[in-house]
C-alpha cells in the first residue's frame, strides 16, 4: 500500500522556514556575544603561553595515548620540562582563557578524592575539580 504524505499545513512552517528562523536566531546570538565580549574585554593573555599549552596538550595526547583527556598535572610537568617559565597560576589562567576561546575543554575528575595530584587541578565551585584538558577541533 502506497503512503500518501499529507499536504503542508499553512499554519506550520516548512523545513526551509524553520532553518531560516534558526539561522536568524544564531546570528542574533552571535551579535549579543560579540557585544558582551566587547563590553567585558578580552583577557590580555600571553599568546606564547597559549601556544605552548596547546602544543604540549597535543604532544602528550599523541605520545602517551591519552585518548584526548590529558591530565592537567601532566601538562604542568610537560611545560616545565619544555622550559616554559610560567607558574601554576599563569598556566591555570591560560587554560581558562583557552576554554573561553573555545580552543580546549576542561573536564572534571569523576572521583576527585582519588586523583593522584589534586592540588595540580583547578578546583571551581559549581564545576568541581577540573583535572583534564581536551583539545577542540580547529
The pLDDT value given to residue 5 = 65
What per-residue confidence (pLDDT) applies to 1?
A: 64
Is the distance from CB of 69 to CB of 132 less than 8 angstroms?
A: yes
Output the pLDDT for position 62: 96
End-to-end CA separation in angstroms for the chain: 49
pLDDT at 84: 96
CATH class of 47-135: mainly alpha
Kindly report, residue by residue over 4-53, the tens digit of the pLDDT: 666 655 567 788 889 999 999 999 988 887 777 666 655 568 999 999 99
- pLDDT score, position 106: 98
> How far is it, in rounded angstroms, from Cα 98 to Cα 102?
6
Output DSSP code: residue 103.
Answer: S
pLDDT at position 6, please? 61
- Give the pTM: 0.69
Q: Which of 84, 82, 130 is nearest to 106 (CA)?
A: 130
Question: Could you tell me how many residues make up the chain?
Answer: 138
Q: What is the largest CA-CA distance in the chain?
A: 73
- For 79-111, the pLDDT digits (tens) are 999 999 999 999 999 999 999 999 999 999 999
- At 52, list the grid cell: 605552548
Amino acid at each position: 500500500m502506497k503512503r500518501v504524505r499529507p499536504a503542508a499545513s499553512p499554519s506550520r512552517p516548512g523545513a526551509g522556514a524553520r532553518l531560516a528562523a534558526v539561522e536568524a536566531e544564531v546570528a542574533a546570538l552571535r551579535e549579543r556575544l560579540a557585544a558582551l565580549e566587547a563590553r567585558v574585554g578580552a583577557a590580555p593573555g600571553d599568546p606564547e603561553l597559549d601556544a605552548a599549552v596547546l602544543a604540549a596538550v597535543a604532544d602528550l595526547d599523541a605520545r602517551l595515548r591519552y585518548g584526548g583527556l590529558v591530565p592537567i598535572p601532566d601538562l604542568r610537568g610537560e611545560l616545565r620540562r619544555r622550559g616554559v617559565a610560567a607558574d601554576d597560576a599563569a598556566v591555570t589562567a591560560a587554560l581558562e582563557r583557552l576554554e573561553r576561546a573555545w580552543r580546549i575543554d576542561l573536564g572534571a575528575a569523576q572521583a576527585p578524592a582519588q586523583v593522584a595530584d589534586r592540588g595540580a587541578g583547578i578546583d571551581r565551585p559549581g564545576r568541581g575539580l577540573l583535572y583534564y584538558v581536551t583539545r577542540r577541533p580547529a
